[in-house]
Amino acid sequence: MHTKTFPNTIAELAAGLRAGEFTSVELTQHYLDRIQQLDSQYNSFITVTPELALQQAAAADTRLAAGDAPLLCGIPIAHKDLFCTAGIKTSCGSKMLDNFVPPYSATIVENYQRDGAVMLGKLNMDEFAMGSSNENSFYGPAKNPWDTERVPGGSSGGSAAAVAAQLAVATTASDTGGSIRQPASLCGLTGIKPTYGRASRYGMVAFASSLDQAGVITRSAEDAAIMLNTLASYDPKDSTSIDREVPDYTTDLGDDLNGLKIGVPKEYFEAGLDADTEKAVRNALAEYEKLGAELVEITLPHTHLAVPAYYVIAPAEASANLSRFDGVRYGYRCEDPQDLMDLYTRSRAEGFGQEVKQRIMVGAYALSAGYYDAYYKKAQQVRRLIKKDFVDAFEKVDVIMGPTCPNPAFKLGEKTADPVAMYLEDIYTISTNLAGLPGMSIPAGFSSGLPVGLQITGNYFDEAHMLNIAHRFQQVTDWHKQMPAEVQS
Ligand code: GLN
């Protein structure tokens, strides 16, 4: 291991690079060494790209020396393996794409390149982003650095484990029903999923297109703001991307919270919530009162319908999106197909894992003639009601807070036999995606020695305000600075 010690936030590293305390090449080599020596314990990377990383770091050093480089210049990050990277395998955690080397990069990958961030590699995830534990990955589960017998959450398990284990300074991730906030919560990190349409989905492998949104996992709200400045953009190549000015998310971080109205939904504190998780969240809310905020009890009456509606809508969209994997155009192809039908069916049967196949079947069923009205249409009507719950709530309050997850990180294998228990992991996060709202999780304490996350849900395009609210909390608490004992270097 390198003898030099480095700070671990973007904000501190950017200052150190500018003060000449270290170079990006040194910093990048430090992270590459850590990945090589430690990632066998965490399995957070699917692909590591050392040569490219060092080339990018050298270019960043030149740019830093010239002055006027963006804040992210020279900072080692990594991307979830569902963002296409030109010339570098993009597997989406699936055997189906184990041989897929995209000819182009996702817009968000290009944005980070433009701003000089160094890419260390591609991160582990549940296959096609379907899961809450990273156990559905073709590459084996990523492990939680707080306890390697436990899951890091999913589907962005690699994105969270890598930051928690200090194998990347920050990571990109995606959130369809909770896949940024839940792993951030389980690994003691800050994660934000912006408003649907705020970040480009071009070059991000699609799971459920009306819900998928790119975001980031970091050590602090300040770092999340810096990462979001680069992630967020209008992209004419994505028809759902919104043409709206991107603010500087770091500008309002220090604003005071006097008079802030925090909605606390009563449905988020009912049966099923772990007692110590509730205690940590209530303490965090009390901390916000000390910062000048007012707590207002609210109701989101259709919360109990979010998981059932999601598990019709998301599989329906997935069944359509995943029809492109046919063994013909790209991805896995079975050996010796007898005819075209055999090529299709065996390529899909052999290339997709169990959970993905289950969801394709559920989705195709929900969309089929005769069942469409009963399932898909009904789920969309419920979605509308869920959205309305939030619209009504935001007439009374500025943000909504509660637990991110009902419990801290669970053991590997604990929920694999019970899909419903696994699906309930996202009970507090899924409504946000159904409504298209921005959501965030920040560290707020511990339960049985494992991190607990506080969820912050904001109004549409209110990310700057949410980051300000998170940052103020992090100025007066140090939950986000806690690190697993094994990881401290
Ligand atoms: N855990 C949820 C699922 O399995 C959400 C996944 C996600 O946000 N990508 O679908």
> In ligand 1, which atom is closest to the CA atom of 433?
8
- Is 39 part of any domain? yes
Q: What is the pTM of this model?
A: 0.98
pLDDT of residue 419: 85
Q: Minimal CA–CA distance to 225: which of 254, 200, 203, 245?
A: 254
- The CA-based dihedral angle spanning residues 351, 355, 356, 359, taken in that order and rounded to the nearest 10 degrees: 150
> In ligand 1, which atom is closest to the CA atom of 426?
1
Strand spans (E) along 2-104: 45-48, 76-80
Annotation marks residue 143 as catalytic: no
Domain with residue 98: its CATH number is 3.90.1300.10
Separation of alpha carbons 330 and 74, rounded Å: 34
- Is 322 part of any domain? no
- Segment 272-289 shows an average pLDDT of 97
Residues 349-383 have pLDDT tens digits of 999 999 999 999 999 999 998 999 999 999 999 99
- Is 223 part of any domain? yes
With b for 16 or more beta-carbon neighbours within 10 A and e for fewer, the 444-476 pattern comes to bbbbeebbbbbbbbbbbbbbbbbbbbbbbbbee
- Between the CA of 179 and the centroid of ligand 1 the distance, in Å, is 5
- Between the CA of 393 and the centroid of ligand 1 the distance, in Å, is 25
- Is 369 part of any domain? no
- Is 98 part of any domain? yes
Residues 226-242 have pLDDT tens digits of 999 999 999 999 999 99
Spell out which residues line ligand 1, taking CB within 6 angstroms: 129-132, 155, 175-179, 207, 314, 426
Annotation marks residue 155 as catalytic: yes
123, 126, 127, 155: which to mutate for ligand 1, most atoms within 8 A of CB?
A: 155
- Segment 100-113 shows an average pLDDT of 98
- Is 313 part of any domain? no
Q: How confident is the model at residue 3 (pLDDT cuts 50, 70, 90)?
A: low
Catalytic residue among 80, 122, 193, 415: 80
**What average pLDDT is seen over the chain?**
97
Percent of the chain with pLDDT over 90: 94
489 pLDDT higher than 60: no
Number of folded domains that form the chain: 1
Which residues span the domain enclosing 202? 10-258
- Is 336 part of any domain? no
- Is 234 part of any domain? yes
Angle of CA points 306, 407, 180, to nearest 5°: 60
Amino acid at 266: K
Annotation marks residue 133 as catalytic: no
Strand partners of residue 78: 171
